Amino acid sequence: TQLLEQSPQFLSIQEGENLTVYCNSSSVFSSLQWYRQEPGEGPVLLVTVVTGGEVKKLKRLTFQFGDARKDSSLHITAAQPGDTGLYLCAGALTGNNRKLIWGLGTSLAVNP
Amino acid sequence: DTGVSQDPRHKITKRGQNVTFRCDPISEHNRLYWYRQTLGQGPEFLTYFQNEAQLEKSRLLSDRFSAERPKGSFSTLEIQRTEQGDSAMYLCASSSPDGGPVGEQYFGPGTRLTVT
């Protein structure tokens, strides 16, 4: 059973388009992180959200944590080819802060 | 460079051989994780150390896999009698319980294992 469902699994868009990636669960998380991974490299932490309803912005990326802390979204405005990569969400379950639960990732390709 | 480092970056081995990978975490981090990742998938948790103590092991970690962190600093992951199904990227991450939200992990570049 996959505790964190990410959608879509694959996304191919043109430069300049907007997109949203979703991360959903029936479990409550004490925190949730978004990572970006390029081929042949390890994931790089983008942001951590902790409070229900929290919104964080990182340049053209907007991250939101659901009010009930069960889901999150990543919105990219005016995507660029440099945004291409695998986007991963990972959550820390309440009461268990030792191990992250990982989504399967969204593979994004931004075409020039 | 004070990030997480892994060695080697790439390893090609023949089926049945043993391999060992090394991970050096960020120096002030006391938590260390090993993951396995196949192409296009998210990381699969293998095992976790807090200081030198191995606190959790995944059921994915068969008895051919062993990990150590003898002095609470660097860690090694050994795979004995490798099989073709072991081919994957092996990722190491470290985190600290202090100075940030729980669970933030910082990853190394990974070791790409190919078993022929």
- Which pair of tokens denotes residue A94? 């309440």
Q: Which one of A98, A104, A106, A108 would you mutate to disrupt binding with B, by most B Cβ within 10 Å of its Cβ?
A: A98
- Please say whether the beta carbons of B36 and B44 come within 8 A: yes
pLDDT at A10 over 60: yes
User: Is B91 in contact with B85 (CB distance < 8 Å)?
Assistant: no
Residue with tokens 């992180």: A33
Both tokens of residue A37?
């991974």
Residue B71: band (very low, low, confident or very high) from pLDDT cuts 50, 70, 90: confident
**Biggest alpha carbon–alpha carbon distance for chain B:** 43
Cβ distance of A45 and B104 shorter than 8 Å: yes
Would you give the end-to-end CA distance of chain B in angstroms?
A: 33
Who wins on pLDDT, B86 or B42? B86
B67 pLDDT band, cuts 50/70/90, is very high
Q: What is the rounded average pLDDT of the residues B46-53?
A: 91
The predicted model gives A32-38 an average pLDDT of: 94
pLDDT of the residue at A2: 59
Does residue B104 register a pLDDT over 90?
no
The residue in chain A having the minimum alpha-carbon distance to the alpha carbon of residue B108 is A42
B1 Cβ neighbours under 8 A, 6+ residues apart: none
* CA–CA dist A76, A36 (Å, integer): 13
Distance, CA of A112 to CA of B107 (rounded, Å) = 29
Residues, chain A: 112
Of A91, A98, A105, the CB nearest to B48: A98
Looking at residue B99, its pLDDT comes to 46
Judge whether residue A104 has pLDDT over 80. yes
Best of B104, B111, B114 to mutate (most A CBs within 10 Å, chain A): B104
